[in-house]
Amino acid sequence: MRGKKVVILTGAGISAESGVRTFRDNDGLWENHRIEDVATPEAWRADPQLVWKFYQARRRQMNEVEPNPAHEALAKLESEIEDFTLITQNVDDLHERGGSNSVIHMHGRLQTLRCETSKQIETRMSDSDLTDDYVYCNCCAEPSRMRPDIVWFGEMPMHMEEIYSAGESCDVFIVVGSSGHVYPAAGMVHVARSIGAHTILVNYEMPANGEDFDEVHLGKAGEILPELVEKWLAE
């Protein structure tokens, strides 16, 4: 794999192994809330207090978990591959804390908040920023309320031009811990296959788009990815 252009896409599965709750239950509810009630722009306008408290709980929980061996394995792969892109659907900072230097967060980040007036982004993770009270910006003359810096359902994912550019020019495309249900991320494997890239899946179970991969490894990423990385680097 050395000397090749490698693109990684990670999903909720890799963070779940660190204890990050996926929040979406089998019945489709997030913490007993419908997705429409906590993860859409319409929900923010209709009941901002409910949405805010939901995301503040997620932001607090991020401080209670640690990177796992899968995060560390990807950081090792990054350090050994010259042309490497790591894209994540996750909004936590576990990749960065696991040693990855350059991570593209297509669905936003829990660490940051966005000013509703100027759209400027601030990292706000102090204790006073993690209560259920609204947080106000530092960028406006009269501080404005901030919203979660998260891509909600119905909003366009971030950095898509950069993401498609990477997918359209890679030699190897690897997906780790993704359900294959959420688009456009789930469609990236088709982009990679269309240019002849070798596609690899590492997932706990076969996802919705599992048949789209050339190579499939089922199991916990934290258990099987470190060994796979060593194998890939030896090739």
Active site residues: 107
| Residues ≥6 apart with Cβ < 8 Å to 126 | none
Q: Which amino acid appears at position 15 of this protein? A: S
In Å, how far from its chain's centre is CA 77?
18
Residues 2, 233: contact at Cβ < 8 Å?
yes
Strand bridging mode 108-115 / 103-105: unpaired
DSSP state of 143: P
Residues 86, 102: contact at Cβ < 8 Å?
yes
Strand bridging mode 121-123 / 108-115: antiparallel
In Å, how far from its chain's centre is CA 9?
8
| Residues ≥6 apart with Cβ < 8 Å to 32 | none
3-state secondary structure of 200: strand
Residues 72, 230: contact at Cβ < 8 Å?
no
In Å, how far from its chain's centre is CA 226?
20
Query: How many Cα atoms sit within 13 Å of 136 on the Cβ side?
Result: 5
